[in-house]
Amino acid sequence: MNRDPEPLLRQAVERAPNDPAARLALAEHLHATRRAAHALEQLDELDAKGRATSRALSLRAKVLTDLGRIEEEVEILEQLLSDFPDEQAYRIRLGHAYRALGRTDEAVEAYRDVLAEQPHDGMAWSSLANVKTTRFSDRDMAAMNRALAISQPGSMERVRLNFALGKAHEDRGEHEQAYRHYAGGNRLRSGMGNYKPETISNLVDRWIALFTPDFLARHASDGFPAADPIFIIGMQRSGSTLVEQILASHPQVEGTAELTHLANVIRELGQAGHRRNLVLADYLEQVSASELRAAGEAYIERTRVHRKHGRPFFTDKMPNNWIYVGLIRLILPNAKIVDVRRHPLDCCLSNWKQFYGRGLEHSYAMETMAKLYADYVRLMRHFDQVQPGAVHRVIYERLVDDLEGEVRRLLDYLKLPFDEACLDFHATERTVHTASSEQVRRPLNRSGIDRWKPFEQWLGPMNEALGDTLEDWQK
């Protein structure tokens, strides 16, 4: 049975092209399936009355976020708040947009405005905690503790409040209290999911078996020859946003965002295999050169909407794309791949302390976070062996200690001339959506190094799951 609602939604639009409900439902589906540009096309087809509804405006703002058009998103959200001043969800979203634009004071003000009306709002407190430069007062902490006391057991509100209180205590050097709140939030959040670490481990095993030197050589010229993408991969909280900001400061490189197009293209390859009763890995063993080329071309075409400045190269900083390194080499053999790596304890702990709005289920338990890190290193090590030099590695700690030297090595790999602007990356004005948005707008410092040490006594499960990777993670 075909459970995809899209054919029915498109049929409804064809039968009643002037029905705003049908077109809006299709736009919502396209947005939910990460096809923002197509969703925007449907929204643009609405008549003036349909486009002016709060539902359509709210969706347009979300779509513009995905397309990196944050200034336009801000205009819509400010309009919605003017019309619906009591709708605090719009105010939270406006805070997120301000933060992405580097308007940190306005972001903080937006979150504080929510808390003035709803002092127990866990979303507002966790959003405020994600502004890394924010420090909570005694009054703030008392308010969060009151909110925690009345929150429902096992609720997402309780999760958010625990993460916010964890940051509040950590900023004060109260590491035991911080650990207890982080652990409480992670325990609750982990219980809401069903993450299975063996899924990734098995996939890494399969990729290692498939991507042999002979297999890669056989398909070396099959993909689409475009050389403009620069994939920045690794773990979240590894320094990938910093590397993206450095490269986006180069006059020949456009910084985009955490794009989802590669995953969509690969999913479509998997669907093609499924139609032949094959899983993706088995399908790749018999895939044609034309299919690989078409997949690479589709990626290039879909990413054009994010490229606004006409620069010859662009970044795609989606850390999770590390699992697709082999497929990148197949469909875009001339693309560059930059692996950003940070000390496993700093990286894994930073993820464990971070509340993510969605996804990243592995980060809510020390064991699964560390296991994913170990699998990531294992796959990267394999590609270092079968295609030496195809992936360039940036070690975060080395970058901090020798910014110019590491930047020069990175630009040499990319075959780009050195430019001083890369060293002044913090002065580059651009939209940054990640948890590191404040850090990359400041000069480089060592504050992110050895952050794990105050928590060392509680990291036994993380150490055990990392195993040998803890000692040889740079190799």
- Per-residue confidence (pLDDT) for residue 426, from 0 to 100: 86
pTM over 0.85, yes/no? yes
Number of structural domains found in the chain: 2
State the pairing for strand pair 253-255/229-234. unpaired
| 144 within a domain of the structure (yes/no) | no
Question: How high is the pLDDT of residue 311?
Answer: 96
End of a domain among 37, 67, 97?
Answer: 67
What is the predicted pLDDT for the residue at 181? 98
Q: Which stretches of the chain score pLDDT less than 50?
A: 1
Q: Which tokens hold the place of 300?
A: 């290039």
Q: Does any domain span residue 175?
A: no
Contact 355, 190 (CB under 8 A): no
Residue 139 in any domain: the answer is: no
Residue closest to 68 by CA, chosen among 256, 309, 254? 256
Percent of the chain with pLDDT over 70: 97
- Last residue within a domain, chosen from 19, 50, 67: 67
Largest CA distance in the chain: 64
Q: Is the dihedral of CA 183, 186, 192, 194 positive or negative?
A: negative
Domain that holds residue 437: 197-219+226-259+311-472
Residue 12 lies in a domain: yes
- Among the candidates 67, 88, 116, a domain finishes at 67
Residue-by-residue DSSP string for 86-148: T-HHHHHHHHHHHHHTT-HHHHHHHHHHHHHH-TT-HHHHHHHHHSTT----HHHHHHHHHHH
Considering the domain boundaries, does residue 155 fall inside one?
A: no
CATH number for the domain harbouring residue 331: 3.40.50.300
pLDDT value of residue 443: 80
> Does residue 248 form part of some domain?
yes
Element at 368 (helix H, strand E): helix 366-386
Query: Quick one: pLDDT at residue 444?
Result: 84
Identify which of 222, 406, 409, 232 has the alpha carbon closest to the alpha carbon of residue 313: 232
Nearby residues of 182 by Cβ (< 8 Å), 6 or more positions away: 162, 163, 166, 352, 353
Q: How far apart are CA 313 and CA 10, in angstroms?
A: 35
Q: Which CATH number characterizes residue 62's domain?
A: 1.25.40
| Among 350, 353, 328, 355, residue whose Cα is nearest residue 339 | 328
Residue 126 lies in a domain: no
Q: Is there a domain that residue 442 lies in? A: yes
Residue 249 C-alpha from the chain's centroid: 20
